[in-house]
C-alpha cells in the first residue's frame, strides 16, 4: 500500500499543477467540446429544415497574460495565461426535412456545403448540434481553415 501511494503522489501533484496552470479568464465551456474532428452533426435551422455540418479542426489556443483575441468582433486582452478551444467547421445548407434524412445524407456523403469554414468558440459550435456520423477530414476541406489560421496567427482574424 505504501509503495502504491509513493507512485500515486507524483501523479496527483502533476495533475494538480496542470489544473493550476489553466487560467480563469475563459469560462469552462470554452475549454471543452463534446465532438471530435471529422464528426458530422445536424442542426435544425430557423426554416425548420436540417443541415449537415462537419467538424474540421479543433485548436487549443493558449494566450499569455497581455495577449489579445478577437471574439465576435470585440478585442479581449487576457489578464492571465489561459486557453480556449477554437472549433473550425463546415456548415451545410438547410436542405433536409427530417433528422433521419440528414443522417442518411451524412452517411452517403450527399449534402451541400454552404460555408466551407467558420471558426467558432466551443459553446457556439456545440449549440443545437446532434451527432449523426463521422467521416475523415480531407486535405481539400482544410483550405479555408489554413487561410484563417494564417491570418489568426498574425492577429488579423478572430473567432465567432
Q: How far apart are CA 67 and CA 101, in angstroms?
A: 45
Query: 69-117 pLDDT, tens per residue?
Result: 999 999 999 999 999 999 999 999 999 999 999 999 999 999 999 999 9
Residue 155 clears pLDDT 50, i.e. is over it: yes
Is 2 domain-assigned?
Answer: no
Q: What is the pLDDT of residue 23?
A: 85
Tell me the whole-structure pTM to 2 decimals.
0.84
Overall domain count for the chain: 1
Is 68 domain-assigned?
Answer: yes
Domain interval for residue 116 = 24-153
Query: 123-143 pLDDT, tens per residue?
Result: 999 999 999 999 999 999 999
Is 146 domain-assigned?
Answer: yes
Question: 3-state SS string over 2-53?
Answer: HHHHHHHHHHHHHHHHHHHHCCCCCCHHHCCCCCCCCEEEEEECCCCCEEEE
Amino acid at each position: 500500500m505504501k509503495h502504491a501511494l509513493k507512485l500515486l503522489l507524483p501523479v496527483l501533484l502533476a495533475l494538480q499543477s496542470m489544473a493550476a496552470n489553466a487560467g480563469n479568464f475563459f469560462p469552462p465551456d470554452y475549454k471543452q467540446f463534446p465532438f471530435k474532428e471529422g464528426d458530422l452533426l445536424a442542426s435544425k435551422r430557423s426554416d425548420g429544415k436540417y443541415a449537415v455540418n462537419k467538424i474540421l479542426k479543433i485548436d487549443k489556443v493558449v494566450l499569455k497574460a497581455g495577449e489579445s483575441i478577437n471574439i465576435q468582433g470585440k478585442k479581449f486582452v487576457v489578464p492571465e495565461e489561459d486557453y480556449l478551444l477554437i472549433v473550425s467547421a463546415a456548415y451545410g445548407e438547410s436542405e433536409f426535412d427530417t433528422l433521419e434524412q440528414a443522417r442518411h445524407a451524412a452517411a452517403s456523403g450527399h449534402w451541400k456545403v454552404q460555408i466551407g469554414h467558420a471558426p467558432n468558440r466551443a459553446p457556439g459550435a456545440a449549440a443545437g448540434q446532434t451527432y449523426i456520423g463521422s467521416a475523415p477530414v480531407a486535405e481539400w476541406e482544410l483550405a479555408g481553415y489554413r487561410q484563417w489560421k494564417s491570418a489568426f496567427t498574425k492577429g488579423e482574424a478572430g473567432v465567432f
